[in-house]
Amino acid sequence: MLISLNLFAQAPPSPVIGNVNSFEGLGLGVPAFAQTSTVPDANGAVSSTQYVQAANGFYAVFSKAGALLQAPLPGSNLFASLGPAHPCVVNNDGSPLVKFDQLANRWVITQFTHVNGPVAGFMQCVAVSNTSDATGAYTGYEFNYGPLLRNDSPRLAIWNDAYYISYNMVTVATGASAGVALCALDRSQMILGLPATQICFGLPTFTDIIPADLEGPNAPPAGSPEYFMGAAPDSLSLNLWQMSSLNFGLGAATLSAPANIPVALYSPVCVAGPCIQQPGTPVTLDDVSANLMHRLVYRNFPGDHESLVVSHAVFSGSTSGARWYEIRNPSAAAPTVFQQQTFAPDASYRFMSSAAMDQLGNIALGYNVSSSTINPGIGLTGRAAGDPLNTMGAELTVQPGGGAMTAPSPNWGTFTNLTMDPADDCTFWYTNEYMSVTGTLWNTRIANFKFTNCGPDFFLSSAPASQTVIQGNSVNYTISMTSTNAYAGTANLSVTGLPAGATATFTPASLTGAASSTLAVSTIATTPAGTYTLTISGTDGTLTRTTPVTLVVTGPQNFSLSVTPGAQSAAPGQSAVYSVTVNPANGYTGTVNLSTSPLPAGTTATFAPASVPAGGSSTLTISVAAGAVSGVYPITITGSDTVSVPNLTNSTSVNLLISDFAVSATPASLTVPQNNSGNYAVSVAAISGYSGTVNLTLSGQPAGVTGVFTPASITGSGSSTLAVSVGSAVPAGSYPLIITGSDGVTTHTAAVTLVVVAADFTLVATPASQTVAAGTNANYTLSVSPLNGFTDTVNFSASVTPAVAGAPVVIFSPTSVVSSGTATMTVISTAFTTPAGTYSITVTGTSTTQSHSASVTLTVNPAADFTISASPSSQTVIVGTNAGYAVNIGSLNGFNGIVNLTTAVTPAVAGAPVATINPGSLTGSGTASLALTTSVSTTPGTYTITVTGTNAGGPVHSASVTLVVNPPAGDFSISATGSVTIKRGKTGTVTVTITSIGGFANNVQFSVTGLPTGVTAKFTPTSVNGSGSSTLTLTVGNSVKQGGYPLVVTGTSGLLIHSTGVLLSVN
């Protein structure tokens, strides 16, 4: 969404800018300048006497009147001091950016090189002039960012503690954004032409952040951070970072989190590609309105406030305007916008702007102007410090356009530059591009102007910037005053910041016009040594200007000794060499005599030379004789100057490491069987840095024993393997051997023992003991292990004690092993017959020459068994009735097998009782049911029933019970009333009588059959014992048909059944 916004669009105030003077810069028609790009990125800076402009990879130097002092040169020429092979010299990749360091009077010009050449990596090239003359020599620097990320869109800024630069970083492999890099370059080294380093921070999620650029003669307050600013993506705020606590020695600094500064809502202009119109062509120009434009200006108004001023293009109406901001006191916890405005006085496009602020707080704004009726030209506006906030004056035309840009990729540019003249801090200098004719070739214009309210002033400068004084002495500075805008007053000079005991005198004490004064600073012997910043002030009424100088107070002349290396190693017969340097301090220029003490026994020392002038060096050689004792020896090196007043003596120390070596071997004793070999590990340890070569030899070995070292010599320290081979004829025994190490000067030995043994084996049986039940087996493992290279076959045999009948039987699998291995010995106890007890089993292994035994024990417990019983032991029944018994199985000795149960009945006569057992088997223990069934045909008598329990392959046991079967005991007869007549719906009764026969006394149950439907019957009682009667009650329903119904009444007692008839008549 595009937002149309004319912020504070009231009628502008009257013009406050005086005459605008301009001359042509680099571009179309300039001799010795050939355009290579449609994007000039014109920019420049001004000193007290010169203006330097850069565009399109070239730079040129102009006088302030517009005379060409140096014809256009490629930017790569500035870096010649690096040497011809450096990428910054070989490649001229363009985008130069020009700055003038007003505090140091130095030009600083930078451009990138994006050819990943002989020195790997993408670089930023920075040149610092050796003087204030832009046509003179420069010292070049290369800052490398590696081969993976490309430094793009560099923005350089001047600050008092460093040069700061920001980049958009691009991933080389993909072209994707890698965020920004914010870097600080070591300014203090660079203005002296010394090697310099940088400190960088990466912000991977941000782009287009620019550093604050110091404007005017007033440095930021002491300890002030550098500021970096970028437009926030919400189009409602700006982000402000602070970098501080620089330590280039450690490569450390601090970067704050961004402070967010709310601003008036805006929208970028060309969001979908080039959109800025030109007359007479469909080609439109691109802008970079999403970015804050070069520069972010910083100015310090001491004792009052600090300001940041910046601008960019924003959408306004249907075109674009130049949005500018002034942010006050940026170091506050929450910086705020002091004033802001979108300058858009009409419907033309205003873009690629740059803002600046003079010593009074007047703000100027330069930019390009274009529309469908106006060719791309250069305009500017401004506001006086006292004007209403958020306003600019009327627009002034610096250079009208004479044609349109018709290049197929119309990127107009990415930055331009509006700067202040250090000569008066009132004059603005501005350069930008314009089109003089339609086509693809551009022009640039360099303009200068100032506000009518910027009056006379003066500035102070000092030389040299720093002086060093020895305690008790004096130094002088020259303080110069420069008048601007016809200043004719008198400034009184003063100084602050002097160290304790120091005094200062100005001659003269005040200056008028262009004049100078000598500042003499005197110290006393007790003035503390250190570095001090002195502030020289010139005051004329309310107008005060300052300039800083540095005073370095040092102690008296002296020297110190340094030596490299701090420690050296030498073996007997060798030498250690050191370099001793005399380091002068505080201007010392004498000669120092060198000596050493103490020296260890067996060493000598010589200096070459023995006397060294200040800043010179001597070679110290310490020779170590044969037999010198190894160790670390501190040696003091003393330097004496007996000529100086007072005499000076200083010392330093080094370590002499007399080296040696030691020989050791492991194991101390090695056992090797005949006709075999073994190894010793031999170590040579370096002592105190020993680096010689030690040759190894063996002595003391008997005939038939040989030894080979691998390797045979060791340099410095290391290890060797001594392989000892023993022949078959070497007698068994212990032999002392000597291992000797020698480097030709020193010899050391190590003693070891060689034990020669015959071959043998060991026999082990496991486990040592087992317990089994009779009838089960046990397995033992036999292990044969070789000793001393044993390789024979071992055969197994065994003996068992006591050797009783049925004793356990032993078998082997396998029956022998060769050299080493295992076998299984199975001990079999015969089924249930092996006597219980503990047996000792001795196993013997026999080879051709050796025999060894091992014993184990086997405890045989009684075999697992079971018991069987049945209850009751006897029962009596009459024929036709049944009997039941319980069969119990009990476990002995842990028996848990299956017992199968069977039955047998004797005598096995026809009609004998039938035996049934359930279940037919039991596991371990339990109870089964034995059922005996008789019938009326069973022959009375006594029967024996035998129950047999069988464990398959194991024990068999039986139990017996008896069953007495008797004949029936007596009988009975049954009689009843012969007939009964009952009306429908009524009841009637019949008497049923049981008569005992032969002493019958059993129970008789009654029943009736033949009842017609609708008739019910009931006996009272339902049964009788022995003899008795029962009443049969018959109930006749209403639906029963009339007639006679024969009924049968039955009495039942076991197998005895008798019946009688009854006639039922229904009417």
- Report if residue 451 sits inside a domain: no
Reading across the β-sheet that carries 898-906, which strands appear in turn? 874-878, 956-966, 941-950, 898-906, 921-923
Question: Cis peptide before 919, with omega less than 30 degrees from 0?
Answer: yes
pLDDT reported for residue 667? 96
Ramachandran assignment for 105, one of left (phi > 0), alpha (psi -120 to 50 degrees), beta (any other) = left
Q: CB under 8 Å, gap of 24 or more: what pairs does 802-805 form?
A: 802/837, 802/839, 804/835, 805/835
- Report if residue 440 sits inside a domain: no
Distances (CA, A) of 85 to 81, 172, 273, 472, 511: 11, 23, 40, 50, 51
Q: What are phi and psi of 221, to 5 degrees?
A: -55, 155
* Type and span of the H or E element at 90: helix 87-90
CATH number of residue 528's parent domain? 2.60.40.10
* Domain range for 830: 760-861
- Report if residue 9 sits inside a domain: no
- Report if residue 740 sits inside a domain: no
In terms of domains, do 234 and 205 share one? yes
Residues 6+ apart with CB under 8 A from 430: 354, 364, 366, 378, 380, 398, 416, 417, 418, 419, 446, 447, 448, 449
In terms of domains, do 570 and 516 share one? no
Residue 924, classified by CB atoms within 10 Å of its CB into exposed (0-12), middle (13-18) or buried (19+), is middle
Q: Return d(Cα 702, Cα 596) in angstroms, integer.
A: 54
Residue 888, classified by CB atoms within 10 Å of its CB into exposed (0-12), middle (13-18) or buried (19+), is middle
- Report if residue 482 sits inside a domain: yes
Pairing of strands 1028-1036, 1015-1020: antiparallel
Q: Return d(Cα 696, Cα 708) in angstroms, integer.
A: 10
> Residue-wise over 192-210: b if at least 16 C-beta within 10 A, else e?
ebeebebbbbebeebbbbb
Q: Return d(Cα 526, Cα 553) in angstroms, integer.
A: 10
Pairing of strands 693-699, 733-742: antiparallel
- Tell me the helices (H) and strands (E) count for the chain, helix number first: 2, 83
Residue 730, classified by CB atoms within 10 Å of its CB into exposed (0-12), middle (13-18) or buried (19+), is buried
In terms of domains, do 244 and 116 share one? yes
Strand partners, 1031: 991, 1020
Strand partners, 481: 460, 515
Q: Return d(Cα 397, Cα 371) in angstroms, integer.
A: 15
Answer for the pair 66, 125: CB distance below 8 angstroms, yes or no. Answer: no
CA 632 to chain centre: 42
Token pair, residue 143, equals 């800052």
Token pair, residue 782, equals 């036999």
Q: What are phi and psi of 77, to 5 degrees?
A: -60, -25
Q: Return d(Cα 552, Cα 1038) in angstroms, integer.
A: 149
> Residue-wise over 476-508: b if at least 16 C-beta within 10 A, else e?
ebebebbbbeebebebebebeebbeebebebee
In terms of domains, do 853 and 889 share one? no
pLDDT reported for residue 116? 57
Q: What is the largest CA-CA distance in the chain?
A: 177
Residues 6+ apart with CB under 8 A from 304: none
Residue 175, classified by CB atoms within 10 Å of its CB into exposed (0-12), middle (13-18) or buried (19+), is exposed
Question: Cis peptide before 667, with omega less than 30 degrees from 0?
Answer: yes
Distances (CA, A) of 444 to 344, 497, 623, 766: 23, 47, 74, 105
In terms of domains, do 654 and 665 share one? no
In terms of domains, do 982 and 1016 share one? yes
Q: Which of 834, 861, 888 is the last residue of a domain?
A: 861
| Angle at alpha carbon of residue 564, lines to 561 and 566, rounded to 5° | 95
pLDDT reported for residue 14? 41
Token pair, residue 952, equals 């398959």
pLDDT reported for residue 912? 92
Q: What is the pTM of this model?
A: 0.49
In terms of domains, do 461 and 407 share one? no
* Total number of domains constituting the chain: 8
In terms of domains, do 654 and 664 share one? no
* Type and span of the H or E element at 577: strand 575-585
In terms of domains, do 414 and 480 share one? no
Roughly how many angstroms between the first and final C-alpha of the chain, as a whole number?
117
Strand partners, 657: 569, 632
* Residue the block writes with tokens 């003693």: 751
CATH number of residue 154's parent domain? 2.115.10
Answer for the pair 1054, 1002: CB distance below 8 angstroms, yes or no. Answer: yes
The DSSP output letter for 79 is G
Q: State the sign of the Cα–Cα–Cα–Cα dihedral 538, 544, 547, 551.
A: positive
Q: Return d(Cα 222, Cα 611) in angstroms, integer.
A: 47
Q: Return d(Cα 323, Cα 351) in angstroms, integer.
A: 9
Residues 6+ apart with CB under 8 A from 1013: 1039, 1040
Q: Which of 936, 966, 996 is the last residue of a domain?
A: 966
pLDDT reported for residue 806? 83
Residues in the chain predicted with pLDDT less than 70, given as ranges, are 1-15, 116-120, 289-290, 484-485, 542, 645, 823, 825-832, 968-969, 998
Q: Return d(Cα 435, Cα 442) in angstroms, integer.
A: 5
Q: Which of 606, 633, 658 is the last residue of a domain?
A: 658
Q: What are phi and psi of 75, to 5 degrees?
A: -60, -30
- Report if residue 95 sits inside a domain: yes
In terms of domains, do 130 and 61 share one? yes
In terms of domains, do 550 and 620 share one? no
- Report if residue 752 sits inside a domain: no
Any idea how long the chain is?
A: 1067
| Angle at alpha carbon of residue 988, lines to 984 and 993, rounded to 5° | 150
Q: Return d(Cα 866, Cα 928) in angstroms, integer.
A: 14
- Report if residue 728 sits inside a domain: yes
pLDDT reported for residue 989? 94
| Angle at alpha carbon of residue 1005, lines to 1004 and 1008, rounded to 5° | 130
In terms of domains, do 711 and 787 share one? no
